[in-house]
């Protein structure tokens, strides 16, 4: 039987503040899950309840079929990695990594063997006798990572482990954490407010907002099929249009006129009428330099003319802010297309919003 972690109707209150509301979740053994959400949404509180530092106000936490609500953190055999590495500065790297094993009275030669094995796993063999202040931030966090793995925990909990590091090291280290997770087949529960981090390493992402779970899904689903307007807005970049729906036409309230929406988009979202938000990703909008280039069969109501206001290079893609009336829309095109079209600031362009590329949310 796999050792799954189950949260049933978990609520956590701090006096009047409800940090986590009626959360239900099952984490499979060996799964990498990420709690993603804005500051204060309840991510850390959830992790702390799993770790045993907080007791749920309501609900049950089960691990391997047993209720663990009242089990002390020490008895859970879950490892923890925090944002601050919390290494002992007066102990060598080897002593830091072996600390938990020493506490468990593991014989010295076994500790040494385990420490060497872990150091090798993250390429720190040659740093063994150094002290933490002599290491870079990335190296210190690697030490913290293997220290938490030394005692063979069944689940590793990580709370924003990379936020103190600079961008490049963060990207390298997150790939390393993922590699270690796959290599060991260990369950990892990771907290972050960085969507790129969450989408790149998780098997499933749990998007939280105000203590609620908004969506639990594979990263690609979170990006391509956000179930709520919050998720569409929080994960990636989206353009939003608000209005009232008449059949499959949105009459926009913000001066955009009308947009035709594909019927299956509305059916999938079970929306028939009323106040509706439409969203569309910047890469789904097509950009034309002249009206003549637009294929005749394209829906006329979904073509809007505007002026290029800002151009931002983002590497492979170029992000273009187009002003239409008093509003703006973000369009992404490839760097190759940008070079080909030689677009300039202030230039008038024509945007096409494909009816099937909208997402619709009742508002
Ligand atoms: P961040 O990304 O900023 O760490 P978070 O999503 O992890 O945010 P939590 O730290 O879980 O959010 O906090 C959720 C809510 O619970 C917040 O409103 C916070 O102020 C409150 N909270 C958390 N811990 C306590 C506590 N010990 N006492 C009182 N309120 C708390």
Angstrom distance (rounded) from CA 348 to CA 305: 7
Q: What is the pTM of this model?
A: 0.90
Question: What's the mean per-residue pLDDT of the chain?
Answer: 94
Specify the pLDDT at position 165: 87
Q: How far is it between the farthest Cα atoms of the chain?
A: 79
Q: Which of 199, 249, 201 is nearest to 355 (CA)?
A: 249
Strand 239-246 with 66-67, pairing: unpaired
Residue in this structure with the two tokens 């637009």, named with its chain if needed? 294
Whole-number Å distance, alpha carbon 160 to ligand 1 midpoint, is 14
Nearest-CA residue for ligand 1 atom 25 is 14
Angstrom distance (rounded) from CA 40 to CA 34: 16
Q: Is the pLDDT of residue 222 over 90?
A: yes
Specify the pLDDT at position 92: 96
Tokens describing residue 315: 């590497």
Residue 167: pLDDT band by 50, 70, 90 thresholds?
A: confident
Specify the pLDDT at position 250: 95
- Report, as an integer, the average pLDDT of 133-151: 92
Give the chain's radius of gyration (CA, Å).
Answer: 25
**8 A C-beta contact, residue 211 and residue 19:** yes
Angstrom distance (rounded) from CA 220 to CA 218: 6
Report, in this order, helix, strand and coil percent for the chain, each rounded to 5. Answer: 35, 35, 35
Nearest-CA residue for ligand 1 atom 17 is 40
Residue 1: pLDDT band by 50, 70, 90 thresholds?
A: confident
- Report, as an integer, the average pLDDT of 56-83: 93
Q: Is the pLDDT of residue 169 over 90?
A: no
Whole-number Å distance, alpha carbon 349 to ligand 1 midpoint, is 46
- Report, as an integer, the average pLDDT of 48-71: 96
Q: What is the DSSP letter of 125?
A: G
Angstrom distance (rounded) from CA 144 to CA 87: 7
Nearest-CA residue for ligand 1 atom 27 is 14
Mutate to test the pocket of ligand 1, among 38, 41, 191 (most ligand atoms within 8 A of CB): 41
Angstrom distance (rounded) from CA 287 to CA 270: 30
Residue in this structure with the two tokens 């998007």, named with its chain if needed? 207
Specify the pLDDT at position 349: 97
Specify the pLDDT at position 93: 96
Nearest-CA residue for ligand 1 atom 3 is 39
Atom of ligand 1 nearest to the CA of 37: 6
Whole-number Å distance, alpha carbon 99 to ligand 1 midpoint, is 30
Q: Half-sphere exposure (CA, 13 Å, Cβ side) for 184?
A: 24
Q: Does residue 64 come out as left (phi exceeding 0), alpha (psi in the -120 to 50 range) or beta?
A: left
Specify the pLDDT at position 95: 96
* 220 Cβ contact partners less than 8 Å away, ≥ 6 residues apart: none
Mutate to test the pocket of ligand 1, among 10, 13, 15, 17 (most ligand atoms within 8 A of CB): 17
H or E stretch including 240?
strand 239-246
Nearest-CA residue for ligand 1 atom 15 is 19
Other residues' Cβ atoms within 10 Å of the Cβ of residue 241: 21
């Amino acid at each position: 039987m796999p050792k799954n972690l189950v949260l049933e109707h978990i609520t956590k209150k701090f006096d009047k503040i409800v940090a986590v509301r009626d959360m239900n979740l099952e984490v499979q053994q060996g799964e990498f899950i990420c709690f993603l959400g804005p500051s204060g949404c309840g991510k850390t509180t959830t992790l702390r309840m799993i770790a045993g530092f907080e007791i749920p106000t309501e609900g049950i936490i089960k691990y391997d079929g047993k209720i663990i609500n009242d089990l002390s953190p020490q008895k859970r055999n879950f490892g923890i990695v925090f944002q601050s590495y919390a290494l002992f500065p007066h102990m060598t790297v080897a002593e830091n990594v072996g600390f938990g094993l020493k506490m468990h009275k593991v014989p010295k030669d076994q500790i040494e063997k385990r420490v060497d094995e872990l150091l090798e796993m993250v390429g720190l063999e040659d740093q063994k006798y150094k002290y933490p202040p002599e290491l870079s931030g990335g190296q210190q966090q690697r030490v913290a990572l293997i220290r938490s793995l030394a005692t063979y925990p069944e689940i590793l909990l990580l709370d924003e482990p990379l936020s103190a590091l600079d961008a490049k090291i963060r990207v390298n280290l997150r790939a390393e954490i993922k590699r270690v997770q796959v290599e060991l087949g260990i369950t990892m529960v990771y907290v972050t407010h960085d969507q790129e981090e969450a989408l790149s390493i998780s098997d499933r992402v749990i998007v939280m907002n105000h203590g609620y779970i908004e969506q639990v899904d594979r990263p690609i689903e979170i990006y391509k099929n956000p179930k709520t307007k919050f998720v569409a807005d929080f994960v990636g970049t989206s353009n939003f249009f608000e209005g009232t729906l008449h059949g499959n036409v949105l009459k926009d309230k913000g001066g955009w006129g009308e947009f035709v929406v594909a019927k299956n988009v509305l059916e999938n979202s079970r929306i028939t009428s009323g106040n509706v938000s439409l969203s569309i990703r910047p890469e789904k909008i097509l950009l034309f330099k002249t009206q003549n280039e637009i294929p005749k069969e394209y829906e006329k109501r979904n073509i809007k003319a505007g002026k290029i206001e800002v151009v931002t290079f983002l590497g492979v893609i170029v992000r273009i802010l187009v002003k239409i009336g008093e509003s703006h829309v973000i369009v992404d095109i490839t760097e190759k297309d940008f070079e080909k079209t030689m677009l300039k600031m202030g230039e008038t362009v024509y945007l096409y919003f494909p009816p099937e590329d909208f997402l619709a949310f009742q508002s």
